Amino acid sequence: MEVTHMSESSELAPNVRALVGFAAEPVVMEVERGAIRRFCEAVGDSNPLFTDEEYAQNGPHGDIICPPGFFGWPKKPVAGLTEPTATMIAQFAEAGFPGLLDGGIEYQFYMPIYPGDVLTSSAKIVDVYEREGKTGKSLFGIIEVTYTNQKGEIVCKARRILIGRQA
């Protein structure tokens, strides 16, 4: 399988190559105790470190903490702001790759996230490349998001892969 990265020569449209380095406005959100509870209820996670305040206060972190994936993927908080996922989808479609697959998200967690923490997510497109497979060409886009807390400490990094398929 042949892979062409955007840093190499490519027949891809300039607008697709230009995606690399595109960064969104940072998104800020406060972690709320009730939101953690609702998230755990929604996904069926009954781990007492996330759901039982009394248990968690006597546990290793001294309070409940956010379960992995709680903060999800950054969304547009204000009308008019553009974020990398929407930009990538539009440019892939314009380049003839309108079919979209989610190639997955990989998280790296560095420290617990607590109720009251204020998280800032900074997302950017770090790579776009093309692969030729049995069914034709596909575009792959990699978005990295770094989450920091109110102290400026990195609490999590995420890498998401989006795959554009030819029509």
- Amino acid in position 152: G
- The predicted structure's pLDDT at residue 75: 52
88-144 pLDDT, tens digit per residue, is 888 888 888 888 899 999 999 999 999 999 999 999 999 999 988 888 889 999 999
- Residue with more model confidence, 43 or 6: 43
pTM greater than the 0.95 cutoff: no
The band of 5, judged by pLDDT with boundaries at 50, 70 and 90, is low
- The predicted structure's pLDDT at residue 53: 94
Domain spans of the chain?
A: 2-31+75-165, 32-70
- The predicted structure's pLDDT at residue 81: 46
How far apart are the C-alpha atoms of 96 and 99, rounded to whole Å?
9
Burial class (CB in 10 A: 0-12, 13-18, 19+), 136: exposed
Report the largest interatomic distance among the alpha carbons of the chain, rounded to a whole angstrom.
59
33-76 pLDDT, tens digit per residue, is 999 999 999 999 999 999 999 999 999 999 999 998 886 655 54
The fold for domain 2-31+75-165 equals Thiol Ester Dehydrase; Chain A (3.10.129)
The residue behind tokens 């790579």 is: 127
SS3 167: coil
The residue behind tokens 């968690």 is: 56
Residue 79 pLDDT > 90: no
Cα distances from 40 to residues 7, 48, 67, 69, 88, in angstroms, run: 41, 10, 8, 11, 31
- The predicted structure's pLDDT at residue 31: 92
CA neighbor of 61 nearest in space, from 157, 164, 155: 155
The residue behind tokens 């470190």 is: 49
- The predicted structure's pLDDT at residue 82: 56
> Where does the chain show beta strands of DSSP type E?
2-5, 27-30, 99-109, 118-133, 136-148, 154-165
Residue 78 pLDDT > 70: no
